[in-house]
Structure 1
């Protein structure tokens, strides 16, 4: 009993340290190789939930002006499911979620017999969960310093190479302090200066979930992000360095029917477990013989949602049996149809949601880029977010195996200035 109590206390201390630690983590002994020191710089910014139309809808003047000086896409299509953790990790690996292993915000791992949850700080920092080679790992492998002021998986020592400079995620550090840190990074000596920086904003997602995508609170959050990007741009300009910005979102946001929600299906817990979600539910069978009968029953009675076996998922979602490289997708998947959402126990639900089929227009994310590497005044059509990875690798001059990612350089190479 005493050993169990001590183990629990240790675990709580670890979790508490992750949640309260606001200090910069610095990996010792690293430096830019001489051949990397003259390379360009890329700051990859994600504004969570920043739908493709939000800059214009809420008159984000800095983003609009910077877009005119660079490249703006009609939209960037998230990968399925259109959720925060899978898509942030897709952007930095060039892999669909079923290919990099982070298949949902919450999912069951059959090998470890454990459920991944994005709220579990200790689990989020465990490299076991993350396949692929994130951009910061790619950079560090080639002796190019990377930094992260928050990004999904940046706290985990993936391939034993977390970013040289990074922070445990928290929302206690002020935006001005975070921008000052970027300024300090760019002022470091050439051998210690990060060439790849990731930077994350949660505000728009928070506001749109709580108040809806059409609310004044969401408008204010967009303005906050826009003002902050204006400050970051001034910091980059003052550095005198060839800094390029890539501004993205992980997904869009839809207004949903809060009153007429879809109840979770009644399941026999001896036969299935179910993850939590609003747009997507995954059922994991404990007894494989129970899959088909329960699937048929669900399909026959489904209203306002679609029912799939893992083997029958639409090919366009890249989420079927053949895609499931880590065996983490549910045996049965339920997809809500907008504006409906799943709701366990009839609890109150917020007006803004995402996670749906990414082909819904409201799920579309933002993309724009500016800086010396990019063409000016260019508007391009929508594209999938898997293609951001090879774009950034190309700008930074990093080598990668194109056969091991889903993204294609050809998709966005046209937006880069020719040398």
Structure 2
């Protein structure tokens, strides 16, 4: 019972208490989410957490042996459209030796042949005491610090697909590609396109990087020579295939999403059979062992044979034959070509003049004869000559959301493709000999990643401060809720204040929200 003379009031249940509690809990949950986002963001910025790249998907198509000179021999409409609406260098520079496997490995690693160790289509490894071929994993793994772009993409949370690209059927640093098709000769280009599109659309997980290797027009160029009608026919077929690729991308609504890069590894020079150099007339072949293929041969001496015993007759004959002898420790050319500092490169190197080859080229001719290539002549084609030869120049053209349209850039090398792909996919590039600056002009949004990183760090610090403040506020809010006010205490305090107010006739500035509600209840009564 309340004392007489005092206004009797009945405690009212505050209906908003649960709502306020839920609001406070929700606020704490928001702060927790912000704090979690901040932690993940900071780790991502510093490379502590692998992330799936948010950039567009990339499709790289390599047409083996598609020389730059073919653009004039057969300006196909689809490839011409690609150049008209894409970005390309005035000159695309490959690596010596201008062979298939070495240059494809330089494209996906961004390093010189002397660095990654694939110095030829076949190599002799003195440490392993074995000759390595395309089917040997050791051919591609001499330098364990160098990994291909598809492996880097997998390690950073992406998913790669490789179709017959040299070296893609092996694991690197214990990592395999998500999708892979091994090499198969005489494969159909359109089947490769269908597979690539499926990987980027219907596979689980979807690929954000796909590499396609196609062995034409290289095969036809070797068999018939680069100026043959058979090559023109093959170029027309390839151009139609590129048209099929674009129609396929349109059907699956990928044309504005996927960045497409069409490139090659080298060109092709014409070689008449009369230009085949017979080394057996110069040096006893039983004394030497060669690796690589014409027009560049690494010469190794057999056990018990000195290098001088082989060097002198080779050097003497070079004055009357179309080749030069390069000594690894003395040659300035090899230094310039970055084809020197590797144990897989022999001390004696033979380089035939352009248009000439050595006797090992007969093996290639017999190969095409055994494959029943129709209408073979005595004119063929080969590559491997120095990059200074215009006939060795490959092609590069890129089109997609990341690239400028119809833009010819200054020259760059195939080593620059690796940092370019890393930039587009948001990957931390490993050690390489390429340059992102060399290709930055072809990008539609050439913002430097180095300029963006400080912004991420600043943003992370800001989010961190906000998160700390939020946590403190959350703790204080919970602490206040843990001290409930009983109805009796609230009522007695209100009665005391009400009495004092009537006596002093002064307003109370510190009246609480709960007491306001009680006062309104009393006035209603």
Normalized against structure 2, the TM-score is what? 0.67
- Of 332, 348, 367, the residue aligned with 2:396 is 367
Query: Shift in Å at residue 181 of structure 1?
Result: 1.4
Counterpart Cα distance in 2 of 1:91 and 1:288? 39
1:1-400 equivalences under 5 Å are 35-36=51-52, 38-118=54-134, 121=135, 123=136, 128-129=141-142, 131=144, 132-171=146-185, 173-188=187-202, 192-241=205-254, 242-265=257-280, 267=283, 271-286=287-302, 290-302=306-318, 303-313=321-331, 314=333, 315-320=335-340, 323-324=341-342, 327-344=343-360, 351-400=380-429
Counterpart Cα distance in 2 of 1:344 and 1:70? 40
Counterpart Cα distance in 2 of 1:397 and 1:129? 27
Secondary structure of the residue aligned to 2:433 is: coil
Query: Shift in Å at residue 126 of structure 1?
Result: 6.9
Q: Which has the higher helix share?
A: 2
Secondary structure of the residue aligned to 2:329 is: helix
- Of 432, 438, 460, the residue aligned with 1:405 is 432
Q: Which runs of 5+ in 1 are unaligned?
A: 1-32
Does the C-alpha gap of structure 1 residues 345 and 364 become closer, same or farther in structure 2, counting only changes over 3 Å? Answer: closer
Q: Contact conserved, 1:255 with 1:351, CA < 8 A, in 2?
A: yes
Does the C-alpha gap of structure 1 residues 410 and 276 become closer, same or farther in structure 2, counting only changes over 3 Å? Answer: closer
Counterpart Cα distance in 2 of 1:299 and 1:113? 27
Secondary structure of the residue aligned to 2:241 is: helix
Does the C-alpha gap of structure 1 residues 271 and 366 become closer, same or farther in structure 2, counting only changes over 3 Å? Answer: same
**For 1:244-270, what per-residue CA distance to the aligned partner results, in whole angstroms no more than 9, with x for missing partners?**
011111100001232132112555567
Counterpart Cα distance in 2 of 1:108 and 1:229? 38
Partner of 1:9: none
Counterpart Cα distance in 1 of 2:64 and 2:307? 35
Normalized against structure 1, the TM-score is what? 0.84
Secondary structure of the residue aligned to 2:298 is: strand
Counterpart Cα distance in 2 of 1:160 and 1:368? 33
**For 1:250-297, what per-residue CA distance to the aligned partner results, in whole angstroms no more than 9, with x for missing partners?**
100001232132112555567532125220011123469822343233
Counterpart Cα distance in 1 of 2:186 and 2:269? 28
Aligned residue-pair number = 377
Counterpart Cα distance in 2 of 1:57 and 1:267? 40
Counterpart Cα distance in 2 of 1:346 and 1:101? 27
Counterpart Cα distance in 2 of 1:345 and 1:60? 31
Counterpart Cα distance in 2 of 1:125 and 1:151? 16
Greater RCO between the two (CA within 8 Å, min separation 6)? 1
Does the C-alpha gap of structure 1 residues 103 and 286 become closer, same or farther in structure 2, counting only changes over 3 Å? Answer: same
Does the C-alpha gap of structure 1 residues 359 and 251 become closer, same or farther in structure 2, counting only changes over 3 Å? Answer: same
Query: Shift in Å at residue 53 of structure 1?
Result: 2.4
Q: Contact conserved, 1:46 with 1:250, CA < 8 A, in 2?
A: yes
Secondary structure of the residue aligned to 1:259 is: helix
**For 1:93-120, what per-residue CA distance to the aligned partner results, in whole angstroms no more than 9, with x for missing partners?**
00111110100011100011000123xx
**For 1:20-78, what per-residue CA distance to the aligned partner results, in whole angstroms no more than 9, with x for missing partners?**
xxxxxxxxxxxxx9942632111111000000121332122111101111112233222
Q: Contact conserved, 1:55 with 1:222, CA < 8 A, in 2?
A: no
